[in-house]
Structure 1
Amino acid sequence: MCFPGACAATALALAMAPIATSQTAPAPVTPQTTAGTIAPPAAATHTSANAPDFQTRIKQMLSAAWLADLYPFTRDTDISDEGYEAGLALALRCARMAPERRPAWDMVLLLADQVEGGTPDEARVARREALAALAKLDPLDDAVRLSRIADAIEAHPTADARVRAYEAILAPQNRAALGAPAAARLAYQLASLESRIGNTELFSRWLAEAVKADPSYPTAAQAAAGYFRMRVADPAADIELLSIAVEANPRDLSTWSALLSVLLDGGAFKSAERTARMAIAVAEAERRNELVYSFTGDLATALWGSGQRQEASHELDLRMNRLTEDYRRVISLMDPSITNERLAREYPPLPSTLSIAMLGIAQKDGDTKKFDLLLERALRGTDAEVKRAEEQGSSKAEVGSFLLQRTVTLLLFGKDLSTIPALLDDAVKSGALGEQGKARFDAMLAWRQGKAEVALKALEPLRANDPLAQYAYASALADAKRTADAITEFRTIAETHIGTSLGLLALDRLSDLLAQPKLVASQLSKQIADRAEVLNTALAKHLPTTLDEMIDRPFRALTVEVKPSATMIGPYESFSFGIRIRNSSRLPMAIGGDAPISGKVTMRSAAPRPGETDAAELPPQPLLIDRRLRLMPGEEILVTVDADLTVVGMLLNIQPLDSHLVSVSVVSNPSTASGGQAPGFLGSVTGAPPIQFTGVTVNETWVKDSRALIRTAGSIEAVTRLALLTHAAADPALLPESIRGDAPAIWADIVEAWKAMPDTAQAWVLGVLPRDTPAMAPLIEAARASTSTTVLRSWAITRIADPTDPILDVCRRSGDAELAKLADAVQWVADRRAKRAADEVGLETERARSMPKDTGSGGGR
């Protein structure tokens, strides 16, 4: 087949690369050994036959050391565009030094995206080099292969040429080579391109193709649900489209909400109950309390609408009691001084639909005590909303909207109406209430005050386009003994607002007037009953019960195992973690940022502080695992993570002399609401076996052996021992008392050995040194005298904190343009850090001056 241009031919060649269809991990990763267990990643130790030579290993070590400092440098809030460019150049250098290790190439991709706006050509070249290298490291990496195809297609200069390239790659004869997940994503990219061009028909076609190729691709499924629903006036089609989207990504709560709205609006209360229960479970797992409240209101509405009033009341009691306990627990943590009496008066802010459902059901049941308690809860909830909005500095209009929510609750259910005029005045002043709205509430107040005729006159012109005004109008008709007219109005509201709290309130009033205590919406007309049946049937057909099973038992859906390559690690030894994730459900699941399997996991770890035995939490760290686009049932992915650049590996480098017992766990599907530190839906916390960092016992024999070993040429052990000896000698107190007098000779040996090493080894030692101490002066002076650009790079990225450091000028005069640019970028960041620190000191000083002095006796600490 003839393709339009060389770029399309390149894209096709990339498409023919291996496809990740096997259930086993890629070749470089240790395979599964026995059912239910995994073998650890390849051990860090090397035999003489497979050990990397000295230059290869020292370059790997130096690459990791530079990257460890490049990460925080490129995340500094003061970094400039030129700083990102210098960071990209250094990341590329790190990657080329150790091309067989992934982290540096990942860093290149990240920084290429950052500099693309300013230096697009350099970014494009770096990106292509990184993607090509990653493809060699893991030929089955779907995400990399897809990126390379898209990158080749995007190289075409015109939109029409890119369209032709996409169409060529998506031709039927190429689909098998692409694989369904990649084909779906490319089809979606083409659909997006057609949309930008303005070709609506072709956008529709390729969007449908994307969903057809891989219904488990969440982005396409959600886009198709949103787009085609607007063009198909068919409730059953709505259900089908939304069901596909929910199945593609059950973690997406907005799709659950949309599906619930369609079911409730159509009176399909049986299906709405099923859907609401699943949505609540997902929202709880994702720690989204505001949506738990909303979905609980939908569940109550579904039960209420289907005539299950007692069940609705029971569900509300159970769930609201738990939500209230959680809310009070948070308040007590935020304010430990709060009394139990005050805490008992705190209630969570609730959506108005939920409040109305709770009060409407209790009112119909005639339980006065419970009704009064729920009314107090609802009003205190709105008070909490107002307080929260004011504390967060929300707009006056937003605060006013919560005042209106309180007003509606009082007008529908309250007994004491005396506060309503003031509430309305405040809402008007805030801008949340206009003239017509004020007129409606004034008329509703007249109705509640028993002035039926006044209310009817004011509400009659408003009722056509205002459901709340129509409800008040119907209620005023009933109070005026115009029963037939009231029945007509309540029936109209119940028929046109099916599945809403207001519609169900109207249905309850209608049942009272008709003396039919068991009246439900489906009895109002055959059309309503038929539509509900269509929706119920559609949901049963298109939303599989396997999804219910997954939500009922979420911990069984994904199996996660974590193993380190070794559990006994010496100073500066290389090691890794293997993270295996298996789809144990009966549904295919995509992997990515907005997918049922998150493209990130969070590593949590803990280790004792120096000199202490109690473990302290280390900072949590996100790790990318999105090497595949999808896992079919039974498939798994095994990702090997180099530990050098994890917080655990950095701990080993920062404190190499200390012995640590480190515990490591991985949070899969981390919840966004928890900041990624706790698992969300389908997620779990999986621990690894404890890892013992052996550290070093610094005694006279060890020092003597070290002074001899560091003179060994071409030995990685000599280089690492030099770094360890430097750490020990940097603090004289760490040396045995019997040899502290030999410190000058020890430093002479250190400097002599350092000078004899190749510049890559010198640069690595410089990169892992502790903070400067007076004892380190001989080595620091020797390092400052070096003119090696490799050593200078280590100075620039790992040791400079002072923006006036003379080494910066040495870097600029080195004749290395990249190094000069790095020096400029480092100086820029260091200068702003210094100014920021000075400002903080000034603020602390000013604060101290403004504090009143304690003149009382005994005013110690």
Structure 2
Amino acid sequence: MVHPSREGHMQGTALISGFLALAMSGGSANAIQDAPEVDPAVATETVAEGPPTLDTRTAHLLSVELLRYASDVLAVSPVSTEAIEAGRIFITEATRLDPGNIEIAHKQLQIAILTEDEAFIEHSVDHLLELSPGDQVAQLRRLVMAIDQFNLAEDRIKSYEILLKPSNQETLGPVVSSRLAFNLAMLYRQTGDRDGFARLLGESMTLDPFYAEAMAVGAGYFQTRVADPVASVELLVSLLLSDLSDTGTPAVLANMLMQHGAYEAARRMYTLAIDDMVADSQPPSNDLLADLAVSMWAAGDGESALALIQVRQHELDELYRSMTREEKPELSPLELARLEAPITPTLATVRAVISSSSDADTAADGMASARESYLNAISILQSNDNSDQRDLASAILELAWLQLWLGHNPDEAEEHVQKAQQAAALSEEARARFDGWILLRQGFPGDATTALEPLAEADPAARLGLAVAQQEQGQLQDAARNYLSIARETPGTLIGIWSALRLQDILGTRLPPTEEAAAMTVLVNSIPMAVDRYPLDPRLAVSFSLSLGDSDLQPYQPIIVDIEIVNNTPMPMAVSPEGPIHELVLLQPEIQIAGMDKIKFGPLVIDVGHRLRLEAHEKMTVSIDLRSTWVGRILNLSPLPGGTVTVTGIMNFKAGNQTAAGNTVFYPGLLGTEVAPVPTRVDGIRVDDDWVSGIIASTTDGVLRAENISDLALLASVIQDNTRMQVSYPITQNILDGGVEVILDAYDRMDSVQKAWFLSIMNSSKDLRSIQEEATKGDDRLVLMIMLIKLLDERDNILIIESPILQRALESTDRSVKSLAKWVKRRAEYLLELELARDRMLND
């Protein structure tokens, strides 16, 4: 007797070998080393029955209609298990009709995942890989599914380890192997094996250093376990290069560079961080701007630092004046021009400190602005009954410290210290430090030295006061020693940079960077300079374009849009939900039909994530048929006049509703691009007696070809318009009657696929009602499916629920027809309930 868990292990092993050996393009049973033999019973595949027609063109047209139905039933709320099953039914039939259609194959896999039916998912993955052997995402899914057949973690771990043997990695390739290694690392973490987690995480990062998810986890994990800041910077540089669309990494890297005195490198990264945020439609914070200004100043460019702050001041002034103009329209332009917006205390402090090295007027202006900013903040805290007194004391002390440090109004600073003490008690050390600085700024450097010297070793601010006092007393060597220690211990702080500049004044030369700072700068310099330009012009990194195969199409002809994405960088770029190339692209079609307003429904979100990454200068193309979307439905409703279809596309898109009307808008994020509209023309038909007579003559007898079916569909539309008196073309009545007769006759000669497609695009008409009545009485699955879904075109939900065809389908022995009928009934009942609820609200 085999133990149940062991039996599961044996079956899973057999499953794995079959999946793994065939997962790659051109894979064979011996491609994966150490894989067990395949159980023939498990490996046998079911081959789907082909379409019941010789008319492959009409079969394709019908498959596209079914693809749209599958998408539509899952797009309406609420999404139920019945809706998912309906989507499965439609997509299965679409696949059977057009098994070589890659768009349908991708949709089948998406729906299979929703069903959570492992056999269906497995079948869908297999089918997709038959059509697209190079689909890395499908390859990876197939491998992971095979491993997930195991119930025990130890069996899954063993399977992953087998896959990640060097010989197997060579077959799988580093990109897929990296993902498998990361999965195994996460599995090790779940089981508490830290060493295994670290080993496999490192292996994943090594196999594909452009796999952003592994790099992000690795950077966070290994930074906490290495005491080497240079190694931490190396991890962050690798993380940045792995995902150029991550707006957070440059700022984190810049902060670390500042902490270790790599000022020029920090300036570059802060600039990149701000450019990234602007490109991603995120306004950079005042604190981030302050950090950039500090890095500029530290790198020796105080003038640019002050100019940067002035630009932000100008932006705030304009916003402040605009708001004031709305509140006080009586103010004159001159009065408005005099208004100046307060800036945050942080930004004001940075400006004051940098300005202190400039001329007296600039220094005084900087300090005055900082004082005003702090007094505003203190006033707000004082007026708020719920504010913490410690926060109030802290703000007052910050102002006092800034005044003492920069030598402005020590008497007022002393008053601030006393007020802070009333709000919250100061420690003895803090009080002693302030007393020493007050003595220094009141002109008693000797007394200040006495007060500050005992505190200097443990308190950098006290040591700074001591150094200033020593410099004023001519003790330049002692002062330089203290300035140097502050600059080395706190290189990323304002007092650290200020101390380095004071030391430079004493020595007459700039303080050289430390070995750490130099090594970090080398690492940052390894980032290509082109990366700095990507936020400003994303086309340098990624090209995005849309193209249409034909600019002039016939009615019902596929409208193929080719989505092309090109990696223009000299390094790989991942395709994933996080980026840098996001796997979803947004398309916004618009239709202009003669005599109608422009038609524009919701945008289309297209999944282009069929590759795990694009290599340097590699491109990928994903094609979709707009007929499988709402565009096809609209054009089917009005095929005679033709129309122009325009498509706008956005890559790496973001959504927001910051509009006056609160409408959702879509726009490019970082590395995103919006492409100009791409137009195509769908020709209309010049309807006259000769055109109708030609169709009658070509379809009177014989085998019906695809072009005959399309012509009959157009003729049915003419008859429908004529019935509704919506015609701008005079058709002789006897010729039109002949058209009705030929449609009725031809319908009887159509095969089931032709009938189903014809019914899918034909609208109700009293002259052709007998066709629909006949269709409801038959047993053809495709025809019944079409008739059921078209029931929802009926406006009266009660009539839908009571429809004979629905009642008949609910009793069908065909599981698919019955399941679809259940969903149609549930949908109609849901809409009816909404309708009744609205009526009750109106009556109340």
TM-score > 0.5 by shorter chain: yes
Aligned positions of 1:536-551 closer than 5 A: 536-540=521-525, 542-548=526-532, 550=534
Q: Partner residue of 1:96?
A: 96
Cα pair 2:237 2:524 within 8 Å, conserved: yes
**Root mean square deviation of aligned Cα:** 4.6
User: How much has 1:150 moved relative to structure 2?
Assistant: 1.4
Question: What is the rounded CA distance, in whole Å, between the counterparts of 2:717 and 2:339 in structure 1?
Answer: 55
Where 2:670 maps in the other structure, the secondary structure is: coil
Question: What is the rounded CA distance, in whole Å, between the counterparts of 1:286 and 1:745 in structure 2?
Answer: 62
Q: Partner residue of 1:629?
A: 612
Q: Partner residue of 2:140?
A: 146
Q: Which moved more, 1:728-737 or 1:435-444?
A: 435-444
Cα pair 1:131 1:148 within 8 Å, conserved: yes
Question: What is the rounded CA distance, in whole Å, between the counterparts of 2:734 and 2:336 in structure 1?
Answer: 65
Counterpart residue type for residue 218 of structure 1: A
Q: Partner residue of 2:783?
A: 791
Where 2:671 maps in the other structure, the secondary structure is: coil
Higher-Rg member (1/2): 2
Q: Which runs of 5+ in 1 are unaligned?
A: 20-50, 117-122, 377-408, 850-861
Matched, 1:226 2:220: yes
Distance 1:699 1:206, change over 3 A: same
Aligned positions of 1:497-646 closer than 5 A: 498=490, 503-504=493-494, 529=514, 531-540=516-525, 542-548=526-532, 550=534, 554-612=538-596, 619-646=602-629
Where 1:65 maps in the other structure, the secondary structure is: helix
Matched, 1:17 2:1: no
Distance 1:349 1:457, change over 3 A: closer
Q: Partner residue of 1:262?
A: 256
User: How much has 1:344 moved relative to structure 2?
Assistant: 8.6
User: How much has 1:134 moved relative to structure 2?
Assistant: 0.9
Question: What is the rounded CA distance, in whole Å, between the counterparts of 1:368 and 1:52 in structure 2?
Answer: 90
Question: What is the rounded CA distance, in whole Å, between the counterparts of 1:826 and 1:464 in structure 2?
Answer: 79
Matched, 1:700 2:664: no
Question: What is the rounded CA distance, in whole Å, between the counterparts of 1:280 and 1:167 in structure 2?
Answer: 43
Q: Which moved more, 1:343-352 or 1:615-624?
A: 343-352
Matched, 1:669 2:661: no
Question: What is the rounded CA distance, in whole Å, between the counterparts of 1:340 and 1:662 in structure 2?
Answer: 51
Question: What is the rounded CA distance, in whole Å, between the counterparts of 2:673 and 2:776 in structure 1?
Answer: 49
User: How much has 1:459 moved relative to structure 2?
Assistant: 8.3
Q: Partner residue of 1:309?
A: 302
Which digits, 9 at most, give the CA deviation of each residue in 1:226-277, with x for residues without a partner?
Answer: 1111111221111000100100111111222321221233332211111112
Where 1:684 maps in the other structure, the secondary structure is: strand
Counterpart residue type for residue 17 of structure 2: A
Cα pair 2:378 2:396 within 8 Å, conserved: no
Counterpart residue type for residue 83 of structure 1: A
Q: Partner residue of 2:752?
A: 759
Counterpart residue type for residue 107 of structure 1: K
Candidates 831, 834, 837, aligned match of 1:833: 831
Cα pair 2:626 2:632 within 8 Å, conserved: yes
Cα pair 2:552 2:680 within 8 Å, conserved: yes
Distance 1:327 1:265, change over 3 A: farther
Cα pair 1:267 1:521 within 8 Å, conserved: no
Q: Partner residue of 1:169?
A: 163
- % same residue: 24
Cα pair 2:223 2:232 within 8 Å, conserved: yes
User: How much has 1:623 moved relative to structure 2?
Assistant: 2.0
Q: Which moved more, 1:183-192 or 1:362-371?
A: 362-371
Question: What is the rounded CA distance, in whole Å, between the counterparts of 2:610 and 2:70 in structure 1?
Answer: 24
Where 1:680 maps in the other structure, the secondary structure is: strand
User: How much has 1:106 moved relative to structure 2?
Assistant: 2.0
Distance 1:717 1:4, change over 3 A: closer
Question: What is the rounded CA distance, in whole Å, between the counterparts of 2:689 and 2:62 in structure 1?
Answer: 30
Question: What is the rounded CA distance, in whole Å, between the counterparts of 1:371 and 1:792 in structure 2?
Answer: 85
Where 1:414 maps in the other structure, the secondary structure is: helix
Which digits, 9 at most, give the CA deviation of each residue in 1:67-106, with x for residues without a partner?
Answer: 2122122122212223223322332232222211123322
User: How much has 1:364 moved relative to structure 2?
Assistant: 6.9
Q: Partner residue of 2:374?
A: 413
Aligned positions of 1:404-443 closer than 5 A: 413-414=374-375, 418-422=379-383, 424-425=384-385, 428=386, 433-434=387-388, 436-437=390-391, 440=394
Question: What is the rounded CA distance, in whole Å, between the counterparts of 1:588 and 1:340 in structure 2?
Answer: 57
Q: Which runs of 5+ in 2 are unaligned?
A: 1-9, 28-50, 402-411, 465-485, 658-663
Cα pair 1:452 1:476 within 8 Å, conserved: no
Matched, 1:6 2:4: no
Equivalences, count: 753
Question: What is the rounded CA distance, in whole Å, between the counterparts of 1:374 and 1:98 in structure 2?
Answer: 75
Question: What is the rounded CA distance, in whole Å, between the counterparts of 1:375 and 1:604 in structure 2?
Answer: 53
Aligned positions of 1:182-201 closer than 5 A: 182-201=176-195
Distance 1:255 1:78, change over 3 A: same
Distance 1:348 1:673, change over 3 A: farther
Candidates 661, 681, 686, aligned match of 2:670: 681
Output the TM-score relative to the length of structure 1: 0.76
Cα pair 1:796 1:808 within 8 Å, conserved: yes
Q: Partner residue of 1:451?
A: 415
Cα pair 2:692 2:735 within 8 Å, conserved: no
Q: Which moved more, 1:559-568 or 1:230-239?
A: 559-568
Distance 1:698 1:364, change over 3 A: farther
Cα pair 1:557 1:584 within 8 Å, conserved: yes
Distance 1:738 1:714, change over 3 A: closer
Question: What is the rounded CA distance, in whole Å, between the counterparts of 1:756 and 1:338 in structure 2?
Answer: 81
Where 1:814 maps in the other structure, the secondary structure is: coil
